[in-house]
Amino acid sequence: MDERETPREMDSALPFHSRRSPVYSTKGICASSQPLASAAGAKILASGGNAADAAVAIAAALNVTEPCSTGIGGDCFVLFYSNKTKRVHALLGNGSTPQQLTLKRVLEAGYGPENPLPPTSVDTIPVPGAAAGWIDTVATFGSGNLTMREILEPAISLARDGFPVSPIAAYHWSNSVDLLKSASGASSVFLTQGRAPKAGDIFKNPDLANTFELLSKEGKDVFYNGGSIARAIVETVQRLGGCMTMEDLVAHRSDFQEPIRTSYRDMYVWEVPPPTQGIAALIALNILESSHSSWRRFHDAEHLHHLIESLRLSFAYVSRYVADPLHSKVPVAELLSKKFASQLANKITSKALSPKELGPMNLSFSDTVQFCAVDGNGNACSMINSNFVGFGTGIVPNGCGFTLHNRGLNFSLDKNHPNVLAPRKRPYHTIIPGLATMKDSGDLYAAFGVMGGFMQPQGHVQVLSNMVDWNMNPQEALDASRFCIHGKFEGQASNIQDHLVDIEDGISHQVIQQLLDKGHPIQGPIGNHDRAVFGRGQIIQRLQNGAFCAGSDPRADGLAIPL
């Protein structure tokens, strides 16, 4: 160790100073942000499971190994591609607010558009949808060759026997120590003598192992229909002043929907429909297809300017319209029309659009996990699972070993907004898996995704464009530097600083200056662990010869594991 460096300074560094080859296979690949989770998925594939079975095994293992990002106390979304039918299916595993949670209740407690609920509030906890989503994914898309107990076995073993914590997970875990010390039940589960585990420390979570075993034995009833986990959730939320009831859990159902899509170059790009923000990525891709003619070099100022403006225009409209379609009609067909995209593309000039031209946006950050699996039969599953912000509320139902999410933070408290808080309503949702198929054959092009709150559609657009427009392989597409747009939604965005753009280390100072000259309020270059704002992605691509090629984001601990 250099005597000028303290251990903390070394822990804070996350340099990118090596390269990684893409991973190839003909029999299947699993990619996630944790090696042990990818290995869990690969084990399921090797045992006769398909891509959906493997994805659920990965989701459970990530709950164990990266609880600072995900868990069964949150939500999940799935895109499943069937190679036999050439169809893409969507499962929305997101829960609704309690029946008794009204806007009036929250406003009378002193909160409002300018004073949102804190992330630790029990009133930010909708019904967690992940447990039902996992079971329904296996039941609907799975191979039928494995039981739920067999699929959850790798995660159960990791939780019961312990595992060594990975370095990036340890870093973000340590940033939540204050939350875990103060949240109900969290300290005894996720801290040891008041501290988070360090990289290489063995961590066990026997309560979570028990939860997974109960889920595999009793199915959804244990979580939603009066079972022991359901009772623990309701008792904990009500004890802390919340209003969730058993009836709220009983009412929950996974939502099977037709995915939404747009064409981009020679393929269809698929996203989960509202109330998710997947439509934001599709609108931006439509705009890009109408406006990219001036691109000359990858990541020069013109290229980045068009990417940034396409996404800012997309978010401006999505922020106005997207909400739970059961409560507000979302004009999906209109927003995804090529005519609309052409009109938006015409707004792009050589200078950045002003906040007045765009309107307010709410683009914040969260911690999530995205993961993919393909099997030897050519099926693919792109899945995402989240607590929303870090450990979510940090609240642990008694004896369960997982935290409850705080996805309700995504609601608006403006009574005139379509995404306003209301009973039995699903919030605008940031987590989105991605898939792309070839237009002519219907064959899979790629399963992909980039986690990270409102970074997600921005990441989808950037990594997909890297592959399609610049001929990068999945690992190159994930390694490339990114940008991330911020924004405000509540109140008025009257200052250009309300639309900050973070630029990652690796983009030249000359290009940054050129973007500043165009009127973009740039922050950066940003490196080390601050790279977390740019998300962490996974990609598995199908090659023309039928083989698979995968990459895993260097901003995370994970990797792609082939069979």
Give CA 53 to chain center in angstroms.
19
> Average per-residue pLDDT in the chain?
93
The count of other CB atoms within 10 Å of the CB of residue 497 is 12
pLDDT tens-digit map of 205-239: 999 999 999 999 999 999 999 999 999 999 999 99
Q: What is the pLDDT of residue 454?
A: 86
Task: Give the model's confidence band at 361: pLDDT under 50 very low, under 70 low, under 90 confident, else very high.
Answer: low
d(C-alpha 268, C-alpha 293), whole Å? 21
Q: What is the pLDDT of residue 34?
A: 98
Residue 170, C-beta contacts closer than 8 angstroms, at least 6 positions apart = 196, 197, 198, 199, 201
Residue whose tokens read 């949240």: 183
pLDDT tens-digit map of 474-500: 999 999 999 999 865 433 334 445 678
Q: What is the pLDDT of residue 430?
A: 87
Say yes or no to pLDDT of 540 above 60. yes
Say yes or no to pLDDT of 8 above 50. no
301 is written with which tokens?
């100022």
d(C-alpha 47, C-alpha 329), whole Å? 44
Let me know how long the chain is.
563
d(C-alpha 153, C-alpha 145), whole Å? 15
d(C-alpha 209, C-alpha 533), whole Å? 31
Q: What is the largest CA-CA distance in the chain?
A: 62
535 is written with which tokens?
């998300």
Under DSSP, the state recorded for 452 is: S
Q: What is the pLDDT of residue 354?
A: 85
Task: Give the model's confidence band at 273: pLDDT under 50 very low, under 70 low, under 90 confident, else very high.
Answer: very high
In our burial notation (b when 16+ CB lie closer than 10 A, e otherwise), range 278-295 reads bbbbbbbbbbbbbbbeeb
| 1-252+265-271+360-563 topology per CATH | Glutamine Phosphoribosylpyrophosphate, subunit 1, domain 1 (3.60.20)
Q: What percent of the chain has pLDDT over 70?
A: 94
Poorest-pLDDT segment among 43-47, 121-125, 364-368? 364-368
pLDDT tens-digit map of 11-58: 568 888 778 999 999 999 999 999 999 999 999 999 999 999 999 999
Q: What percent of the chain has pLDDT over 90?
A: 86
pLDDT tens-digit map of 87-109: 999 999 999 999 999 999 999 99
Task: Give the model's confidence band at 295: pLDDT under 50 very low, under 70 low, under 90 confident, else very high.
Answer: confident
Poorest-pLDDT segment among 157-161, 367-371, 385-389, 542-546? 367-371
Task: Give the model's confidence band at 7: pLDDT under 50 very low, under 70 low, under 90 confident, else very high.
Answer: very low
pLDDT tens-digit map of 421-451: 999 999 989 889 999 999 999 999 999 999 8
d(C-alpha 20, C-alpha 392), whole Å? 32
d(C-alpha 530, C-alpha 167), whole Å? 14
Say yes or no to pLDDT of 137 above 80. yes
Q: Is 85 a catalytic residue?
A: no
Under DSSP, the state recorded for 499 is: G
The count of other CB atoms within 10 Å of the CB of residue 380 is 30
Q: What is the pLDDT of residue 322?
A: 86
Residue whose tokens read 């260097």: 554
Cα-based distances in Å from 333 to 273, 339, 389? 11, 11, 31
Query: Active-site residue among 368, 393, 403, 430?
Result: 368
Say yes or no to pLDDT of 467 above 90. yes
d(C-alpha 360, C-alpha 363), whole Å? 10
pTM of the model: 0.95
For residues 412-429, average pLDDT: 94
Q: What is the pLDDT of residue 3?
A: 38
Domain boundaries, the chain: 1-252+265-271+360-563
Residue 416, C-beta contacts closer than 8 angstroms, at least 6 positions apart = none
Task: Give the model's confidence band at 274: pLDDT under 50 very low, under 70 low, under 90 confident, else very high.
Answer: very high
Give CA 447 to chain center in angstroms.
14
